[in-house]
Chain A
Amino acid sequence: MELPSQTHVSLLVIIRRSRNLPSRGTLYVRVNQKVSPADVIGRTTLAPAHYLFDIAHGLGLPPAKADKFLRRELDEKVSGGDILAGPVGWMRRVVRAPEEGRVVLQGDGRLLYEGLGEAYELRASLPGTVIGMDPDLGVTIETVGALVEGVWGNGRQEFGVLRVATPNSAGLLASGDLSIDLRGAIAVAGRVEDPNIFRSLTALPVRGVICGSMPSALIPSAKACEIPVILTEGFGRTPMNSAVFELFSSNAGREASLNAQPADPWKGERPEVIIPLPAVGSANVPAEAVQLVVGRRVRVLRAPYAGREGSVVSLPEGLQQLPNGIRVPCAEVELGETGLVRVPIANLDILE
């Protein structure tokens, strides 16, 4: 039994997203508080340096004696230059803290000290309401809007106005085609191929790019650029699927939140675009783990119909033979102008 993968391309849904600090820290919001994308909702420190002091040696004393000159309690916060041990003797020998931090362990003439580390700020990155909290670690924010999941992202986040930069879902966005309208906006394009495209977009500047596909050779430049980049289809020359392109086109001019986080199947995280919308009518949380049934909207993930969207017409029993001779479970899918085709269920992605 094959369970096809699923991608959310939803016009209006309730979206709940966790925003977590990479390690425990301080949160600045509370439940029911409204947040904006740029709000700093928490802070922590990363990669603190560690210092192992031989206090006995530093003070010129035997270990047991040196312990009597320890000046700080365990876990006590200390400023850079503060005395950790001493003074001893007429030279008034001391051991000082190398930077702001805390004492982790001390005794037997030794002291383990942890520096403060690099500051890290957690932003809300989407507008909404805080509906849940994990103390010192993260929050859950809820919003209502359109949701489009991508397949690849360069790890960055941004918020801006959507602008469609190519005339259709197969349109190629090149450095020479960039219009001034894209300045400060999130550009939507069928695909990109130009090796300089990300440099040009960053220079304009745009706030983010969403495209169907790009050559994998552009991965290093996409990862290096400061704006979020999201692919909806994959690598190569696959156009953006029509359902996604239409959703972006119909929401052009609206603000959108781009979270180009790398896909993590374990956590169910994918790069995504959220377009906050007024909650008109009844929005629901997106359906998960939907079954493949006749009538279901799907897209094809692999050649020869990669990126094409259609609907399931039938699900033949048993194994079906593919053009290359392999026999696998298949679905018959109506792909618009191409007509009815037989596609392995493993190669289908349910659009929900």
Chain B
Amino acid sequence: MTEREVAPSQLDADSLLLLNVGTSHTRASLVDIVERQYRMVATADCNTTANAPYSDIGEGVRAALDQLSNLVGCEFFDETGQLIVPSRGSGSGVDAVVLTLSLQADVRVALVGLLPDISLRSVRKLTESAPVRVVAELSLGDKRTDEGRMDALCQAKPDLILVAGGSEGGASDAVLRLMEVVGLSIYMMPPESRPQVLFMGNSAVSGKVQEMLKSCQCNVTVARNIRPSLDREDLDPGRVALNEMTAQILRARLGGIEGLLSWTGGVLTPSPLGLGTVIQLLGRTAPPKKGALGISVGSGSTTLAAGFGDTMELSVRPDLNLGRNAPRLLEQTAWRDVARWLPMEFSETALNDYLHNKTLFPQTVPMTAEDLRIEMAVVRELIRASVRAASPSWRVPFTYPWGGLLPPLACLLGSGAVFTNVPKPGYAALMLLDALEPPGVTNLILDAQNMICAVGAAGRVNPLAVVQVLDSPAFPRLATAICPVGKSHPGDPVLRYRLQYADGRQIRGDVKFGTIDVVPLALGQKAQMTIQLHRHFDLGLGGYGQGGTFAVEGGLAGLIIDARGRPLALESDPAKNRKRQDDWLTQITV
């Protein structure tokens, strides 16, 4: 990302403390002015202490803050142990605190809609944008009696019921009839475990629904109709409401959170919304006909955010993670699809054992080279499964010529310890390239401190800080990736390039099909790239065979020319493919 100079007068010189409580780790970052720019000064982390025996997330936060205090040489707490807000002239304390929550706590939701193929489908889609688990579905089309629906709802013990149904000016009696069943079910549940309700149906009956459920002491939130007409779906308001309600449910379960909320004025941001905010910003500022994509892989969930123009798409998959649900990857992906990324033979049994052990010990890190390759293979397939499910419904406001591939991306951001805990940056770049196969020219960005969600959430406090921190070393460019779309035979020419550095030096090279070429271009170093493209390949510069000259910037892994073709075709012979996997890792980390 480019540096952006801002005059000091434009700066609202408030320091920010960013806190992110994740499933395994709690992180704290200090954002402050350094040389007239907001910078992430330091980040510290500690294990999350939500689980027994601590059962208090505040302990993990305080431990992280103690570390942060040692790193930056600044006191955060006063003599009485209270966080110092706002900061004092002595440099102690902070001016604002932002708290995001990305830990998973099995929030159970029941879905209620009038018609299975319309409102129920929309509300099901909505659940993919929040860390929740669907435990029951009810609709007028499910052929159960009202009693059957009540039993299903009572036995599912949901924390939250999402209701949709009735377009604007459409069905209202049927919605009320269904809500009566919901209300009776809630009435039957013990008062201490009654769920909240999010109503996103026909607005004409929302008042009656609230009235109806009031007698059950049920908290009803109303959001804009998710299906205002039969042919229109409006997920955005429901998505925000769902994430906020999920955070409220977690809030009620988490020990120690109230103390943290007293620092933030009661504001708690669900981390998917934080990621979504950043990706929406990057999508808006992307060049025409390009978007932005962010992927966060953790032991709690895989979260995907895509921004194209003004649209933002969010997909949260708690069922696809590197923790307690790791084996569920094999419900979405064949084991051979995971094994194909490995340079060694690996059996289905061994993969199953590996994934089940991840459920037991999600916090562990790979120690051997073989273990690391397995983890990287699993990450690729987690991302692929997540994208496969989410991308068909993305609203892309421009056309692009490459069917079956992602839309062209200006930047692709990877977040999670799986990308930062690697021996060399090339490992992270290879995972992103293999998993997402970005076409054309894409900037790969690394969330080096794993704080992207908290940075996004900071937008409500200090938008300028967000923009500047995104331009800072906390989000270094991994590489500029040049990925021609097309197919050929191994060894055939794909492109010829000439890289002209700012000092006038030049490098020239030919890149053959089936290889990855890393051109030396250091982090932040700028150059002009001229490409002559073979007629079988397209880079989005005007069509197949059309090359051109454009500005590039180096990253931690240099400048990558991925000439393996798009869609990426792996060797069908397992032995050859295993060797190819090793070759590619060697080539990208050279």
Contact = CB atoms under 8 A, between A and B. Distances in A.
A50 interface: yes
Contacts of B47: 1-3
Contacts of B46: 1-3
A280 interface: no
Interface in B16-63: 44-47, 49-55, 63
B7 interface: no
B146 A52 contact: yes
Contacts of B421: 326, 328
Assign chain B's interface to a size class. 35 or more
Contacts of B190: 23-24
A105 B184 contact: yes
Interface string A310-337: 0000000000001111101000000000
B371 A303 contact: yes
Contact of B52 (A50, A52, A265): A265
Contacts of A31: none
A152 interface: yes
Interface stretch (A57-65, A154-162, A204-212, A214-222): A214-222
A104 B187 contact: yes
B364 A346 contact: yes
Interface in A287-322: 288-289, 301-304, 322
A346 B368 contact: no
A5 B352 contact: no
A344 B357 contact: no
Given A1-B47, A52-B184, A266-B105, A302 B67 contact: no
Contact of A49 (B45, B151, B253): B151
Contacts of B366: 302, 324, 326
Contact of A234 (B187, B253, B327, B361): B361
Interface in A240-292: 263, 265-269, 288-289
A51 interface: yes
Contact of B151 (A47, A263, A325): A47
Contact of B368 (A151, A266, A324, A349): A324
Nearest to B63: A1
Majority DSSP secondary structure for residues of A touching B: loop
Given A50-B154, A328-B365, A234 B357 contact: yes
Interface in A18-59: 23-24, 47-52
Contacts of A343: 367
Interface string B421-444: 111100000000000000000000
Contacts of A325: 369, 422-424
A69 B333 CA distance: 60
Given A52-B147, A324-B366, A266 B50 contact: yes
Contacts of B356: 216, 219, 234-235
A114 interface: yes
Contact of B184 (A112, A266, A323, A349): A112
Interface in B368-382: 368-372
A268 B54 CA distance: 9
B364 A50 contact: no
A263 B51 CA distance: 12
A41 B327 CA distance: 37
B422 A235 contact: no
Contacts of A302: 357, 361, 364-367, 371
Nearest to B324: A265
B587 interface: no
Interface residues of A, number: 48
A167 interface: no
Nearest to B105: A266
B363 interface: yes
Interface in B213-265: 253
A236 interface: yes
A168 interface: no
A50 B367 contact: no
A125 B323 CA distance: 31
A50 B150 contact: yes
B298 to A, nearest CB: 14
A1 B44 CA distance: 8
A24 B355 CA distance: 37
A51 B54 CA distance: 44
B442 to A, nearest CB: 26
A55 B478 CA distance: 70
Contacts of B51: 265-266, 268
Contacts of A202: none
A347 interface: yes
A280 to B, nearest CB: 27
Interface string B147-171: 1001100110000000000000000
A151 B45 CA distance: 26
B352 A347 contact: no
Contact of B155 (A24, A47, A151, A304): A47
A282 B369 CA distance: 47
Given A1-B46, A288-B53, A326 B422 contact: yes
Contacts of A114: 188
Contacts of A289: 53-54
B349 interface: yes
Contacts of B424: 325
Contact of B361 (A23, A50, A267, A301): A301
B372 A324 contact: yes
A219 B50 CA distance: 28
Closest 4 CB pairs of A and B: A268-B52, A325-B423, A288-B53, A265-B51
Interface of A: 1-3, 5, 23-24, 47-52, 104-105, 112, 114, 151-152, 215-217, 219, 234-236, 263, 265-269, 288-289, 301-304, 322-326, 328, 343-344, 346-347, 349
9 contacts: A49-B151, A105-B184, A105-B187, A215-B352, A216-B353, A302-B365, A323-B369, A325-B424, A346-B364
Given A301-B360, A301-B361, 5 more contacts: A50-B151, A236-B357, A269-B52, A302-B365, A325-B369
